[in-house]
Structure 1
């Protein structure tokens, strides 16, 4: 049995809304048509996916599992369409996504030596669009920061980066050479996701101001709404007159990885993967953290 992607998209819309009428409006189809398609999908799979009663619509266990699996499947199909369209136009470009504080230039320079005919575009990504942009083909390769949902991805570690505490300039620890996790325990935390993903072993209450990127983080901290933790590269790439950085040596390091969709089979993508790993290896070999901050001088020298 082949899974019908159109029916799968219809199911995801209903599962997200838990309402057939609203899902039908979003899909621009009639509600009876949507209901028939969902029943046909349930027949194809041989199991109920949704429970419909006077209280509304809810997912069965099978429905919850299908919703989990549907995202990567639909994103992979969308990415395939993007690649086919690009191939039909004769374009041969590589789109590389990167998180704040990650310098892509060293790998781009090494890659260009082997593929001078393949332009490399770069695009800034945030924590919440790392996996989606890889899965749906908006980026071919991504420099990501953990944690990330690795479902449908191939992820390889590149390097670990020490973290610093981000503090308002009036903070009691501002100006210190370093601090410990215990020094900061209990402080409200401005964080980019669920606070369970915070890199410290000591508890921090949620400050209630989720920050999507570094700029938002700095603004919230500067306003005195809480503290935060960032990779050490933030001290080079980002500054704010009302924010100071203090190293926290015993804080869990930030892990930078390279990621690509597991369904993506491309020699060009594989070659960029190799170049990125080589560039990261040069950084470690030179023992020079500032190498990748400066944009790849050492990589060019070693290339």
Structure 2
């Protein structure tokens, strides 16, 4: 097995477990605490490769870089990821949240047009249509789906898309792993300060299950998951990295069944087809075209 294939496989497997595993402690640990512990632990895991990259490339981190990382951290961690966890808590099935969140590439198209001046072509229009249909299938208004959770998933995906585009625009100097490590760390610190000011309980009632799941989410899903993601890009290019996000919605119904015991509905598989196709057309680049 090639290195890049192994990294993509590990990234997909780890990322796909986020929502189902989070659901296991959603009733005992607040979305805020889950998010804080997940990213503060994840930032510590990304610290060693980030330091190696800084020394190797003689990168100087300025006050402007820290300010930018903090703003991106607020977008990604304090808004997108907290709203995602709220959606997981409210959802009947975490697989719906994961699948809707996987549609973030369709929103990335809109922000890329706005901030990166990318052109809207036929493939991107098709991606937008397929993505919207996929989200509507997930919502399934006729069967009383928890619409609050659907709304949370959509908001989280939109904000994550904005983060993705802005991160792509400003990451050329620091590079992926260094900037992401900074974003995780600064975003976690801002979140911690905010929670203390608001009087939110940051430290949950610890037991073996809670500690084990928080450690798994922080060390493996966030730390190792993103480390593998960047290694996939480093060894195989951005296309290899994006494959992990194509695989996630496909595996989600099966992983949710294994972890949560929730039998996937037919609509879940229909939504997966639409969203995977939307992701494909959103990221499709013809030979010879530059991938921005």
Using the size of structure 1 for normalisation, the TM-score is 0.23
Q: Report which of the two structures shows the higher radius of gyration computed on alpha carbons.
A: 1
Using the size of structure 2 for normalisation, the TM-score is 0.24
Structure with more contact order per residue of length (Cα contacts < 8 Å, sep ≥ 6): 2
Q: As a proportion of its length, which structure holds more strand?
A: 1
